[in-house]
């Protein structure tokens, strides 16, 4: 409960729920946050759906390739 309050879990989950209702999807990345005043240092960062892509970024050396369909 202490960790949940420290990371703002209820607010973030509410935001993700609203994003899923309007955009059809919601994303978060699990991160290490040493600034948390709790023993658990796990946090999550919300990501806008527009920032997520299905292809690897070419700027970081990613290569486009087709994946087999099963």
Per domain, the residue ranges of the chain are: 2-49
Residues 5-64 have pLDDT tens digits of: 999 999 999 999 999 999 888 999 999 999 999 999 999 999 988 887 766 655 556 555
Which pTM value belongs to this model?
0.69
Could you give the dihedral angle defined by the CA atoms of residues 60, 44, 51 and 58, in that order, rounded to the nearest 10 degrees? 10
Q: How far is Cα 31 from Cα 46, in angstroms, rounded to an integer?
A: 11
Q: How far is Cα 39 from Cα 7, in angstroms, rounded to an integer?
A: 12
């Amino acid at each position: 409960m202490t960790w949940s309050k420290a990371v703002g879990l209820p607010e973030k989950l509410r935001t993700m729920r609203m994003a899923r209702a309007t955009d059809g999807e919601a994303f978060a990345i699990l991160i290490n946050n040493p600034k948390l005043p709790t023993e658990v240092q796990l946090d999550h960062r919300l990501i806008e759906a527009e920032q997520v892509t299905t292809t690897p970024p070419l700027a970081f050396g990613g290569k486009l390739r087709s994946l087999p369909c099963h």
